[in-house]
Amino acid sequence: MVGSRGLNDIVELCQLIHLLPRKTDCLLVSGSSYQIIEGPRNVTALKGSEARFNCTVTHGWKLIMWALNGIVELSLTSQKPIITSNRFTSASYNSTDSFISEMIIHNVQLNDSGPVQCSLQNSNVFGFAFLSVQVMGTLNIPSSNLIVTEGEPCNVTCYAVGWTPLPNISWELEVPVSHSSYYSFLEPGNSLRVLSVLDLTPLGNGTLTCVAEMKDLQASESLTVNLTVVQPPPESTYQNEIRKSANVRTGKADPETWLKSGKENYGYKSDEARAAPLLHPPLICAPGKKRCVLFKDIHNKYLTFKRKDTYQELDKHRPSPVTHPRVSFDIASPQKIRNVTIV
């Protein structure tokens, strides 16, 4: 960017750098035709790197001055450069109709950010630019080796600390997943620290990479961690019984299935079973014999019956169903006598 300044400003600049002994001397040269053809351009540099600015002027110049943040750091005469600090050096390039002066700032620091100015001793035109310095901080993930359960959701957090300005953070996944997403935000109470949280459901082993990129520079920093997936723990016997109990309560299984599988539900009796006729074991009767033999009863003894006996007679020997004692309480009596009747 090229701009003009008044005559008084030029005189004050001449006195400031002690290039001319008297104000009148500066006035005499202020009307010279030497001009700046093209001033320097804005530069964005990374802390610790170099920043270069070019200023193109017409031939015949006597003195070129470079200032950073209002302080002249480098001067250049037609014979040699005048260097005030080793951090500021000069390069020059000649062409048929112009001269290019280059100021190089080494090991750029954050406090170097500010206006850069190129000026001529005998011209009232100045070239302006701006230096922006960015700082690449660090990345941190609490663990470099993560162990998670296959198929279960988990999250990984990446911290970006000491970046100016704050970076853009993304993730690179080299691991099979069924789902993944991430979001970034400023840490509460700390505007210089960015957190990025990756949510994922892993299905296998691999690596996760957190990437931070500078907004105006082709520069980035990354951090990679290993992800190890393990199988979920086997279900315990207790957990298995709880699950089966839950299935019973929700009616997810057929009671008839339990009867067939040997896992009987003794409190269940289907209508089909109640409607079935009573079946009797066969009687073995030898030809010409008047008595028949029934296989062992519940007492492990053989029973014999006359051939003419009917199954009604046989049923008398069948064991009665087991019944539970009945308990009744007489609460009308003030003596609270408890009677128990066994049936």
Structural domains present in the chain: 2-134 (2.60.40.10), 138-230 (2.60.40.10), 247-276 (no CATH), 279-343 (no CATH)
Separation in Å, CA 24 to CA 4, 125, 165: 20, 19, 47
Measured distance CA(158)–CA(212) in Å, rounded: 10
Length of the chain: 343
Q: What is the pTM of this model?
A: 0.57
Measured distance CA(289)–CA(306) in Å, rounded: 9
- CB-CB contact of 53 with 90 (8 Å): no
Q: What is the pLDDT along the chain (343 residues), one digit of tens a residue?
A: 444 443 344 334 444 433 333 332 333 334 456 789 999 999 999 999 999 999 999 988 889 999 999 999 999 998 888 888 899 999 999 988 899 999 999 999 999 999 999 999 867 788 999 999 999 999 999 998 999 999 999 999 999 999 999 999 999 999 999 999 999 999 988 888 999 999 999 999 999 999 999 988 888 999 999 999 999 888 666 667 777 776 666 555 444 444 444 554 555 455 544 544 444 455 555 555 555 555 555 555 555 555 454 444 545 555 555 555 554 444 444 444 444 445 4
CB contact set of 97 (below 8 Å; sequence gap of 6+)? 58, 59
pLDDT at position 294 is 53
pLDDT at position 39 is 94
pLDDT at position 278 is 44
Measured distance CA(124)–CA(3) in Å, rounded: 9
| Residue listed under structure tokens 């008398």 | 316
3-state secondary structure of 297: coil
H/E element, 289: none
